[in-house]
Homo-oligomer: A and B are copies of this chain.
């Protein structure tokens, strides 16, 4: 959190000129609220907040209620304008907003963005640009919309050591998994339901494959551990392979399945610290606070040395909640333009190594289809023992033909587990491995 340059401020009562890039759901809501609550914003910022331009792709599209004189299709021209102090980027995508935001920061404009993909992919480059001119770069809306997460990690917990962040940070997948849990239905049906209700986009890939959550995991890890983490550093698995049988097996273990973004500080065998950032569907016990997060809600669970366990909960998406987070950042950016000073910037001093995913330790829920004959369980238990993995519970059910074994292990490394799965596959008695799902949160 260093800042070599800072803006001394324009002085109390000075207007703050704002340009909005993008006039989709969020941009339109930001524009509306800035107009309707102009008095509040002026008092909270210390000077009037004036929207001076709105960049859109197609100027000719009718936009009721929007002053046409504000519209431009040349976002880059805004970056040069003296009368614009803060740029709000709510376009989405990476390449185009990256170029505009970089140009804006280099021109000394503070930037508020809701773009998690951009921040996760290009955080270093953007921070360097902000650093070079003393501009602020804010992105509270990029993780869990209006749920304050970026601010608490960056500021409220700045005096603590964060050890773990576990979040349900994608509403689409939580809606689908919650609906599967509630109804017993299969993935495809609940994805269709989510699409019908507007919780899933026409192309749901970024959500259901975990990419959206991985961007957020990268941002959360970076903030929590003062280390540079990009989306590429995050091990990512989606929920498309989760079946109704998996959900039922989770229930039988008094668990539910959630897509978790897990960011963890890990101490290696040699005492050195590293971090792990990963996204995958996992079983969590129903008594865990994250298990109670229903529908499309989001929640972020934080464990810190002194603060202990905290949870932040709310709506993690949608035009209004995202606008709320953007506007909170805009007030902070505006205040700094008026009164001087800078928000804490990028903090990557700890520079902890990012662990190979194979080194990550969790528990596992393994669902096997096996021959139903004497000695099979002994063979399988021996295979786990040979790999050094202890079993916590084994549950056997009749199947036809054969039997079903549901095994919950104690903690083991991913690499070890993979070796064990290979060995199990080689056993004649193992007819198939139905699923291997990780378990989180059993210590809460």
Report which A residues bind B (CB closer than 8 A).
Answer: 1-4, 6, 8-9, 12, 29, 33, 37, 40-41, 43-46, 140, 145-148, 151-152, 155-161, 226, 289, 292, 304-315, 318, 320-321, 323-332, 335-336, 339-342, 344, 347, 349-350
- One of B6, B44, B151 near A156 (C-beta < 8 A): B151
A6 touches B310 (CB 8 A): no
- One of B9, B43, B44, B344 near A335 (C-beta < 8 A): B344
User: Which residues of the partner chain B approach A226 to less than 8 Å between Cβ atoms?
Assistant: 40, 43-44
In the bound assembly, the distance between CA atoms of A166 and B197 in angstroms comes to: 30
**Considering residues A40, A318, A332, A339, which has the most beta carbons from chain B within 10 angstroms of its beta carbon?**
A339
| Minimal beta-carbon separation of A86 from chain B (angstroms) | 12
Known: A43-B347, A160-B328, A340-B6. A307 touches B313 (CB 8 A): no
User: Which residues of the partner chain B approach A326 to less than 8 Å between Cβ atoms?
Assistant: 159
A40 touches B306 (CB 8 A): no
Known: A146-B307, A307-B146, A313-B313. A6 touches B341 (CB 8 A): yes
| Minimal beta-carbon separation of A330 from chain B (angstroms) | 6
B344 touches A156 (CB 8 A): no
User: Which residues of the partner chain B approach A161 to less than 8 Å between Cβ atoms?
Assistant: 37, 40
In the bound assembly, the distance between CA atoms of A3 and B13 in angstroms comes to: 11
- One of B37, B46, B305 near A3 (C-beta < 8 A): B46
A152 touches B157 (CB 8 A): no
In the bound assembly, the distance between CA atoms of A204 and B295 in angstroms comes to: 41
A324 touches B4 (CB 8 A): no
In the bound assembly, the distance between CA atoms of A43 and B152 in angstroms comes to: 18
User: Which residues of the partner chain B approach A324 to less than 8 Å between Cβ atoms?
Assistant: 157, 159-160, 304-307
A158 touches B6 (CB 8 A): no
In the bound assembly, the distance between CA atoms of A147 and B16 in angstroms comes to: 32
A331 touches B159 (CB 8 A): yes
User: Which residues of the partner chain B approach A342 to less than 8 Å between Cβ atoms?
Assistant: 339, 341
User: Which residues of the partner chain B approach A332 to less than 8 Å between Cβ atoms?
Assistant: 155, 158, 344
In the complex, the chain B residue whose C-beta lies closest to that of A319 is B306
In the complex, the chain B residue whose C-beta lies closest to that of A152 is B148
In the bound assembly, the distance between CA atoms of A79 and B165 in angstroms comes to: 39
- One of B4, B40, B339 near A341 (C-beta < 8 A): B339
In the complex, the chain B residue whose C-beta lies closest to that of A314 is B310
In the bound assembly, the distance between CA atoms of A184 and B44 in angstroms comes to: 48
| Minimal beta-carbon separation of A319 from chain B (angstroms) | 9
User: Which residues of the partner chain B approach A40 to less than 8 Å between Cβ atoms?
Assistant: 161, 226, 350
| Minimal beta-carbon separation of A1 from chain B (angstroms) | 5
